[in-house]
Structure formats: C-alpha cells, structure tokens
C-alpha cells in the first residue's frame, strides 16, 4: 500500500478523528482520538475476512483480550475500497514493540500467551458455517516432499551450475531423506491427531505466530490473524519454537523451559507432543531455501541464502542431539 493522501482518505469511512499518520510495514499507523489503529490493504477473499472477524470477536468473548480487533466502517462494513479499488481494512493497534527472540522473559511470556490464545480458539460453529477442512500434517509434508523432489530433478538435469546450485545438490539427498523419514513417522501416528478431529472440535490456530506478530509492553498482544485457520495447535507452537531454536543452536534447556511455560497454562496431549516433534524434526529451513530458489527464477540467489544453507549444515548435529533428547523426555 502506498502512503499518500488517496489511501489515507479511506480513513474518513471510520468513526474516529485522525490526529496523525505514519508509515509502517506495508501499512499506515494512525493515531486517533480513540487510540491507535492500522490501515492495511487486504488481498484475500471476503469470506476469509468475515471469518477472521468472527474469530477475533470469538477469542475476546472466550476471555482472550490481547488480540487485535477489526474495525467496522460507519456503514457497518469490514472493508472499504480506495480510489484504485483496493480493499482496505482498519484494525486496532496494541501499543508495544516486537517480541525479541533474544529476550528469554519475552519468549516465556509469548509461550504463555499462546497457550491462553489456544484455549480460546475453539469455534465448531465456524467450521460448520464455512465448511472448513483441516489439512493433516502428513498431507502437508507430502506436498512439500513432492516440491523438493521436483527441485532435485531440476538440479540433476541442469547443465552448468552455480556454486549455490552445486552446494544445494550435494546436500539434497540428506535433507530429502530426512523429510521423508519425518513424514512417515507422522503418518504412522496419524490416528492420534488427525485433521478430522480438529474439524470436529473446531480447533483453530493463529497460523503465523512469530515474533513480528507479537507486541510486548507489560503484556504480550497478538496481531495479524490473516492466516488463522482450522488445524492443530502445534502449527503455532512449532513455528515459534523452531525460530528460537534455529537462532540458539538448538538449546534444549531453553526449549524445554518454553514448553514448560506453555504447559503451565495448557498441558499438551500425547498426540500434540508427537506432532510437535514432527514439526521440529522436519527440515523446514531447507525446504524454504530450495523452494525460494526454484520459484525465484533460478537465476540470482542472494548471498544470504548461501549463508543460510551453510548454517543449516553446521547445526545439523545440534538438531539431531536435541531431537534425541526431546524423544527421551516427551515421547
């Protein structure tokens, strides 16, 4: 979204007075006489926006008061269009700064916040209303494995290769075998926590529970629910934990402390512990690197991706040790 008079004019559709605006990440922050709000372009389907509004209102009714809220226009609509007919939405903006993955206390607070949020994210009526279907973890990983095999096939058939492509190809079999092994493990335990169970219970997850979607100031507030979906809670838990583990060389003491913080509020079931293991064990970072390479034109690859690949290899032993200890403690 461009920050200009035309986009800011959208704010006239809302029941507040704008004091000032400032640029934010692909959005406009607005100080108003009723507090802070954020103006963003919305590119998804309308039904998902309606569902997100109901999820946000639902978690508030269920006792979780630290989530953003969608604001309705003066006419009672969830969005309005700017002069270019782009759909725009306005959401409440909790005060605070992004959660720091280097701050142990903030990470512990974020884990407890996630547990409280998950306890409030149960909406079987929405599953029925929108005909939502959860994707099992095994299905998710099988799709990714097909993508990885496609990239490997392309690399094998490619003639002259760059240094990055040579290094990527040399490590491919290692990580693909790892991906297939984890997928098979998940499938063998599939009956414990399948997609149908999530659908019947109406269990939702945030979908993008990362540090940049957490604002810290005395408490932890959660924003950007655009990817909320029906599914098992380990999607959120695995994403947040893995980001921390990758930055701390898979420190098991820290990870077990964080899992403990979550379980103080919402104990994990045996099936969830198995699924969390699968999410941490799957070579997610390698899949992202390979996918980025394949979908970005396969031409120029940023040096940052080379560095990510090297670091991934450097941490492989630490990751294996962590997973062995996780199995010993939780499985």
Is residue 109 in some structural domain? yes
Q: What pTM does this model have?
A: 0.92
Domain hosting residue 44, numbered range: 5-93
Kind and range of the H or E run holding 193: none
* 119 is a domain residue: yes
Cβ atoms 22, 38 nearer than 8 A: no
How many structural domains compose the chain?
2
Same domain? 110 vs 79: no
Is residue 111 one of the residues assigned to a domain? yes
pLDDT tens digits for range 210-248: 999 999 998 999 999 999 999 989 999 999 999 999 999
Same domain, 65 and 139: no
**Which of the residue ranges 5-19, 132-146, 190-204 would you say has the lowest mean pLDDT?**
190-204
Extract long-range pairs of 300-309: CB within 8 Å, 24+ residues apart. 301/162, 301/164, 305/164, 306/163, 306/164, 306/167, 309/164, 309/167, 309/168, 309/171
The CATH code of the domain that includes 266 is 3.90.1200.10
Of the residues 93, 115, 132, the one at which a domain ends:
93
In b/e form, how buried is each residue of 130-149, taking b as 16+ CB within 10 angstroms?
eebebebbbbbbbebbeebe
Q: Does any domain span residue 98?
A: no
Residue 59 falls inside a structural domain: yes
Question: Do residues 62 and 163 share a domain?
Answer: no
One domain, residues 181 and 295 = yes
Q: Does the pLDDT of residue 16 top 60, yes or no?
A: yes
End position of a domain, from candidates 93, 116, 151: 93
Q: What is the pLDDT of residues 108-132, one digit of tens each?
A: 999 999 999 999 999 999 988 888 8
Residue 99 belongs to some domain of the structure: no
Residue 40 is part of a domain; what is its CATH number? 3.30.200.20
The encoded tokens of residue 206 equal 């945030």
């Amino acid at each position: 979204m461009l920050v200009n008079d035309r986009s800011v004019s959208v704010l006239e559709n809302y029941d507040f007075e704008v004091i000032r605006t400032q640029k934010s990440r692909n959005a406009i922050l607005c100080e108003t006489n009723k507090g802070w709000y954020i103006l963003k372009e919305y590119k998804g389907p309308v039904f998902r926006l309606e569902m997100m509004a109901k999820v946000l209102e639902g978690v508030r009714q269920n006792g979780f008061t630290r989530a953003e809220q969608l604001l309705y226009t003066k006419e009672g609509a969830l969005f309005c269009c700017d002069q270019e007919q782009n759909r725009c939405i306005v959401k409440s903006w909790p005060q605070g700064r992004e959660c720091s993955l280097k701050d142990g206390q903030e990470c512990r607070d974020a884990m407890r916040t996630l547990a409280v949020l998950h306890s409030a994210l149960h909406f079987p009526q929405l599953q029925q209303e929108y005909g939502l279907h959860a994707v099992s973890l095994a299905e998710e990983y099988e799709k990714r494995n097909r993508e990885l095999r496609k990239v490997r096939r392309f690399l094998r058939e490619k003639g002259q290769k760059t240094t990055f492509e040579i290094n990527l190809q040399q490590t491919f079999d290692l990580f693909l075998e790892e991906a297939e092994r984890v997928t098979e493990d998940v499938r063998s335990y599939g009956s414990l926590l399948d997609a149908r169970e999530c659908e019947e219970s109406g269990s939702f997850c945030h979908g993008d529970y990362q540090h940049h979607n957490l604002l810290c100031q005395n408490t932890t507030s959660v924003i950007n629910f655009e990817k909320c979906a029906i599914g098992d809670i380990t999607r959120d838990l695995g994403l947040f934990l893995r980001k921390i583990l990758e930055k701390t060389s898979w420190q098991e003491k820290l990870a077990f402390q964080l899992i403990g913080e979550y379980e103080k509020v919402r104990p994990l079931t045996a099936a969830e512990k198995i699924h969390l293991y699968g999410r941490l064990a799957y070579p997610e970072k390698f899949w992202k690197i390979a996918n980025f390479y394949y979908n970005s034109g396969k031409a120029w690859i940023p040096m940052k991706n080379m560095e990510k690949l090297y670091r991934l290899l450097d941490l492989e032993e630490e990751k294996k040790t962590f997973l062995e200890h996780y199995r010993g403690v939780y499985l």
